[in-house]
Amino acid sequence: MRRRRTIGWVSLIAALALALGMSFIPSPYVIEQPGPVFNTLGTSSHDGTETPLISITGAPTYPTAGSLDMLTVSVVGTPTSLPSWAEIIGAFFDTSKAIVPVDAIYPPTVTVDEQNQENQAMMVDSQQEAIAAALTNLDIPFQTSVTVAQLTADSPATGILQVGDTVDSVNGTAVTSVDELRAAVAANGDAQPASIVITRSGAQQTVQVTPVKASDGTLLLGIGAGATYTFPFTVDIQLDNVGGPSAGMMFALGIIDQLTPGELNGGKNVAGTGTISADGTVGAIGGIRQKLYGAVDSGASYFLAPASNCDEVVGHVPAGLQVFAVKTLSDSLTALNDISAGADLSSLPTCD
């Protein structure tokens, strides 16, 4: 009996020592969990004061109600401060959390500061795309120009084009979108230089760049091109310490709601996520399972999810939440119209 007691105490002490050790030993993982939720129809804290998340000046606006929530994902841990194994085990048994290799979130070749800067840049781009998508949906005209965002390695445009140049035309054909630029370069071919009119520091000039052919046959100028928009009124989006492009669709819906009479959501609580492009295409995002739980925690009953994320949604929808699959901004507006009207929602696309 005494021997059994000794073995029992030794086992208990060993287990406690192991548990204590696990609480301090860092793991090679980080934890994704639901982050803060922001109502695009409400306010956010900016420089210590509450300000409208979306404010519009220079155009008529209308009252809104309820919520059009955008969701975020918080990451527990950084390369220099990793979660312990005890925290990882706890996250394993929590369906709202995900365990991810640290290198998948923080690539070894990129510093945390560099990644934060990149995420902030993507957030700014997503806001501009959201404004463009909203105005496109409402048939409100605006100007689009194409700018040089970067030069690739060994670019044929090195020393000819500069970051910040606006591309006005190629071989006499006006360029107002990245797709039009690609088409003009493809039509030029790689046998002769393309005559490109650019605007640099407010002055136009003509340069010559010979495209090169990529391994897949695509003709390239060797630049990263981006769209720059000039809108007829001001849309200001204030959101601190949030990065990435995944709020684009909800920004667009929030803008449309303010610019149109009535309430898109019928005063109900609706959440959603998805990137957006100026033509209204909704794209996939990361961390959608965590965002589903964030939506429920915020009190939402309906969730608009990118159709391209459906494989991650099926089987992981929290109780009390209806999820609708959308491919475009128009799909989202259709869903909101039915939700607002109290219509039968069974005909709306889902991720089932």
Altogether, the residues listed in the chain come to a count of 352
| Predicted local confidence at residue 330, as pLDDT | 97
pTM of the model: 0.85
Contact (CB, 8 A) for 3 and 43:
no
How would you classify residue 323: left for phi > 0, otherwise alpha for psi between -120 and 50, otherwise beta? beta
Averages of pLDDT over runs of 10 residues in the chain (352 residues) are 52 48 74 96 84 96 96 93 91 94 88 83 90 97 93 91 95 92 95 96 96 91 91 93 91 98 96 95 95 96 97 94 97 97 94 82
| Predicted local confidence at residue 12, as pLDDT | 47
| Predicted local confidence at residue 23, as pLDDT | 55
What span, in angstroms and rounded, lies between the C-alpha atoms of 102 and 86?
Answer: 16
Instruction: Name the residue with tokens 């607002």.
Output: 340
DSSP symbols for 180-194: HHHHHHHHH-SSS-E
3-state secondary structure of 339: helix
Q: Give the DSSP H/E element, type plus range, for residue 113.
A: helix 112-137
| Predicted local confidence at residue 7, as pLDDT | 54
| Predicted local confidence at residue 196, as pLDDT | 97
Tokens of 118: 């990149």
| Predicted local confidence at residue 182, as pLDDT | 92
The answer for residues whose C-beta is within 8 angstroms of residue 92's C-beta and 6 or more apart is 99
Residue 99, CB-side half-sphere exposure with 13 Å CA sphere:
17
